[in-house]
Amino acid sequence: MTQELKDAVKAWEKLSMENSNFGAADTEPDGVFQRCLRRTLNGEDCKIPASASDWQLYSGIAGSAKAARDLTRALRSCIRVINKTPHGQMDLVRKYLEDYIWRC
């Protein structure tokens, strides 16, 4: 399960770099991503970002809405993996995420 989560996180990171022209590789979208991961890990509700504004992208640039949708889809994949992790593997997922999440 940890590898599946690592792969999902890497997919989000790749998308953020591919959409860097919209600001997706900036600290703000990464902070949004990490906050959602932390809240999910802690069993809290997370307001899933959907728009360019939610992700704090450069919303005035054509294509930013698609970038936001792609980032949201990748975030949802990460959340699904966390939520379906069997209880016995949750310590490994927690360790990985606590090492990964540093912005919040």
Q: What's the pLDDT tens digit per position in 36-59?
A: 999 999 999 999 999 999 999 999
pLDDT of the residue at 104: 67
pLDDT of the residue at 27: 96
Point out the residues of the chain with pLDDT beneath 50.
Answer: none
- 75: Cβ–Cβ under 8 A, 6 or more apart, which residues? 12, 33, 36, 48, 49
Residue 25, domain extent: 2-100
Number of domains in the chain: 1
pTM here is 0.94
pLDDT of the residue at 103: 76
Concatenated DSSP letters of the chain: -HHHHHHHHHHHHHHHHHTGGGTTTSHHHHHHHHHHHHHHHTT-------SHHHHT--TTSTTHHHHHHHHHHHHHHHHHHHHH--GGGHHHHHHHHHHH----
pLDDT of the residue at 102: 87
Q: Which amino acid is at 38?
A: R
